[in-house]
Amino acid sequence: MKQTLTDVIDALGVGWCQVRLVFLAGGIYTVGGEILFLFSTFPGAISHELGLAANQKAALASAVFLGMLIGNLVCCGIDSLGRRIPLLAAFFGILVFAGASAMTRSFSTIVVLWILTGVSYGIGVPSFNALISETSPTKWRFLLNGLAMAIFPLGSLHAAFLVYQHAPDLASVGPHWRTILLFERVPNLIFLVLCILPGFVESPHYLAVFRSHQEAEKELEIIASQNGAPSTCLDFRVEKTAAGSGSDSTLQRILIMFGPKLWATTVVVGFTTFMLNFIQFGSMYTLPAVLSKVHLGMSPAMSLAVATLFEFAGYLVGFALERFTRHKTLMVIYLMGCLLFTALFIYGVLVLQTNTKSLEGILLVQFGVNGTRLVMSIGWIVSYVYAGSAFPTAVRACASGLCIGCGRVGSMCAPWVFEKLLAATGSFLCYFWITGAACFLNIVMVLLVLKETKGIQLDEGVEAMPICSSFQ
């Protein structure tokens, strides 16, 4: 019997092919980290410049996440375009729309351009998530996906230091936000050029399902050449459950995702990405407001930079833990960590409200902020790897886009929830209480529903997938 396509990918191993994928195609995370940091930091400055109301400020902060949601959902209908073309379109869209937003003084125009920037990024992430999962050997899938995602905080860190150079207190960033945004388009352009030449491979899984067996073999030959494995046997069989599914409609793919085999997984992974985004981008939006009222012994801009460094360190911790633990366990570790560090943050703020110079309060808030960023990185890797592994090839990009799109709803909700709770209670702590409670709910859902994906082969069809025991 011929080997599966995943067997061939495993036999080809890791080499320059994966290096290109991680550091060129994965540059979508670098560009995204920079964009999301700046788009979460600038609403206050733009609001002051244009004289916006609180609702307009929240709308501006949510615009990019609305666009990301639209882009993620667009991925549900563009499986037939592959992985490479959507990624190139994403780099180009971010370059054009983000750059254009720095050259307008109209609130409505900025909102539209930020939405379009988000659409571009929203298309790029699920496409890359599917691509790296489908071109990585099974044992390397977590590490390679994580390495690409670890570039995200580096983009944020570069943006943070650029902001620090112009406005250490964040409050004076107003006159500089356009210059900073335009300057950051330079690395965006470099990534776009490098993704075209020398470029990166298309997914053989996509080609086998949506195009032809011969095109998939040609791409495997390129991978073999780049990895220095020209003698590897490239013959593979096409899984019966996947054959012909490339012609299925978007509606049919959605019906598969919410069918008896996958609906519980789809719901829980969607809620998990919702919480990831609600916490991560909620903190990016709320921290400037919190840090303006709570002194932590350093400038607000430097505090954000330090938090970003902890975010990067979290990826390294995630790589180490994954060697010894299952993916479900990693999800629980991340969520329990968020719960613990959120509690420390709340207690630290309460201490500082009583004594603004309390060393105990400062340390507790620092542990809360930076500890949350550290465990969040673990959550990003394991959740996105899970979304790229738990679904069959014919619906992988579609399912990944839908689940990641649920996360964008969390990103959009966070600024509104924060502003409404702040207006209703006069305190930002209520927002963090809600975050902690939602983390606990997420832990219960993960333990009850999700199956283990560590080490599974991607050729698994829907018929072969077990129904979770909790829902039989």
Average pLDDT over residues 372-376: 90
For residue 113, pLDDT over 60 is answered with yes
Q: List, in order of start, the domains of the chain with CATH numbers.
A: 5-471 (1.20.1250.20)
The Cα–Cα gap between 106 and 439 comes to 38
For residue 239, pLDDT over 60 is answered with no
Tens of pLDDT, residue by residue over 265-292, are 889 999 999 998 888 777 767 766 666 6
The Cα–Cα gap between 288 and 281 comes to 12
Tens of pLDDT, residue by residue over 243-269, are 444 445 667 777 878 888 788 888 999
Model pLDDT, residue 387? 82
Q: Are 201 and 17 in contact (CB under 8 A)?
A: yes
Among 399, 164, 413, 177, smallest CA distance to 279 is for 413
Across the strands, what pairs with 237? Answer: 4
Per-residue pLDDT band for 102 (boundaries 50, 70, 90) equals very high
Name residue 345's amino acid.
F
Tens of pLDDT, residue by residue over 2-59, are 788 889 999 999 999 999 999 999 999 999 989 988 998 898 889 888 998 878 887 8
The Cα–Cα gap between 44 and 13 comes to 48
**Mind giving me the DSSP string for 308-355?**
HHHHHHHHHHHHHHHTTS-HHHHHHHHHHHHHHHHHHHHHHHHHHHH-
Helices (H) and strands (E) in the chain, counts: 19, 0
Per-residue pLDDT band for 193 (boundaries 50, 70, 90) equals very high
Tens of pLDDT, residue by residue over 384-433, are 888 877 777 667 777 877 888 888 788 778 878 887 887 888 777 788 88
Tens of pLDDT, residue by residue over 289-338, are 666 666 666 766 677 778 778 988 999 999 999 888 988 999 999 999 99
Cα 175–Cα 177–Cα 180 angle in degrees, nearest 5: 120
Name residue 274's amino acid.
F
Characterize 253-265 residue by residue with b for buried, 16 or more Cβ atoms within 10 angstroms of its Cβ, and e for exposed: bbebbeeebbbbb
Model pLDDT, residue 247? 44
Name residue 270's amino acid.
G
The Cα–Cα gap between 396 and 336 comes to 28
